[in-house]
Amino acid sequence: MNLFGFPRKKTASGRIDGEGLYLRAPLAGDFEQWRLLRGASRAFLAPWEPTWPADDLSKSSFHRRLLRQDRERLEDESYGFLIFRAGDDALLGGLTLGNVRRGVAQCATLGYWMGEKHAGQGYMSKAVYALLRHAFLDMRLHRVEAACAPNNERSRRLLERLGFQREGFARAYLLIDGAWQDHLLFAMLERDFLREQRPAEAALDEA
């Protein structure tokens, strides 16, 4: 819904290119790569995600996920992406720009996951930066929010390195790994991104 006649621009359906990687919406043909990477990373990801359903890695569950993401994309509500390495098209992880609010907010919430074998190599910094550039310059969002558990040092450092500002602390904020967990709240504004664009680009090489 476009409140008060504010302009809005939907994200392009094609891929988003970043430094040495690209983002695109998941397709049915991605299932096997996705299943293998998520399955091998389960213990690594479980502490930071909602409890996985019993059939989470099944083809039928993946198909339902695609249908839901397609519907949310059409409704300008949420945009899910997979991250691929540019050189060999290897699946690295995923990103979501969800809970899109238009009208007087022009805001969305960032979520992300990285396969364990690809973690700590700077891929996620580059992927998030590419998505932020798309969010602010193409989707014309004003604000992107993110949250992480206080003990998730890797995620907190990622957000701080890219220029997100810590704005608060939310008690029992999300149901993660079967328990309501506190989270640190971060956000980046369009003007922050434009001001920090060059320093952020330099920081990617240090990630």
Which residues does the chain have with pLDDT short of 70?
A: 1-13, 197-207
What is the Cα–Cα distance from 49 to 51, expressed in whole angstroms? 6
Write down the pLDDT at residue 12: 43
Which pLDDT score is estimated for 10? 47
| Structural domain includes residue 44 | yes
Measured distance CA(68)–CA(65) in Å, rounded: 5
Residue 62, domain CATH? 3.40.630.30
Cα–chain center distance at 98? 8
Start-to-end Cα distance in the chain: 38
- pLDDT for 160-176, tens place per residue? 999 999 999 999 999 99
Number of domains, the chain? 1
Full residue range of the structural domain in which residue 55 is found: 3-143
Q: Return the pLDDT at 14.
A: 76
Please tell me the predicted confidence (pLDDT) of residue 198.
53
For residue 23, being part of any structural domain is answered with yes
**CA gap 13, 16 in Å, rounded:** 9
- Helix, strand and coil percent figures for the chain, each rounded to 5: 40, 30, 30
The predicted pLDDT at position 202 comes to: 53
For residue 201, the model assigns a pLDDT of 57
Predicted confidence at residue 90, as pLDDT, reads 98
pLDDT of residue 88: 96
pLDDT attached to residue 89: 97
